[in-house]
Amino acid sequence: MTNLNNIVNDIEQYLKHQIEEGETNTEISQDIMEKLSNKTIPKTTTTVSDSTPATPTAPAKPAPTPTKTAKPATAVKVNATGCADMDAITLKISSCTQCSLAKTRTNTVPGQGSNSPEIMFIGEAPGAKEDEQGRPFVGRSGNFLEKMIVAMGYSRETVFIGNILKCRPPDNRKPTQEEIDICIPYLKQQIAVLKPKVIIALGATSVKGLLGKTPAISKLRGEWQKFEGIPLMPTFHPAYILRNQSKKGELWADLKKVLTFLGKTPPPIKKQ
Positions in the binding site for ligand SF4 (CB under 6 A): 93, 96-99, 101-102, 108, 165-167, 179, 182-183
Which helix (H) or strand (E) segment holds residue 263: the answer is none
Q: How far is the CB of 29 from ligand SF4 (least distance, A)?
A: 28
Q: For the chain, what percentages of helix, strand and coil (3-state, to nearest 5) are there?
A: 40, 10, 45
Report the residue number, 104 or 218, with the smaller CB distance to ligand SF4: 104
Report the residue number, 120 or 165, with the smaller CB distance to ligand SF4: 165
Q: How far is the CB of 183 from ligand SF4 (least distance, A)?
A: 3
Report the residue number, 154 or 160, with the smaller CB distance to ligand SF4: 160
The number of C-alpha atoms within 13 Å of 262 and in the hemisphere containing its C-beta is 24
Beta-bridge partners for 226: 231
Q: What values do phi and psi take at 122, rounded to 5?
A: -120, 120
Contact 105, 179 (CB under 8 A): no
Report the residue number, 120 or 220, with the smaller CB distance to ligand SF4: 120
Report the residue number, 2 or 98, with the smaller CB distance to ligand SF4: 98
Report the residue number, 56 or 123, with the smaller CB distance to ligand SF4: 123
Q: What is the DSSP string of 73-130?
A: --PPP--TTS--SHHHHHHHHHT--SSTHHHH-SS----EE-SS-SEEEEES---HHH
Kind of pairing between the strands at 230-235 and 225-227: antiparallel
Other beta carbons less than 10 A from residue 210's beta carbon: 23
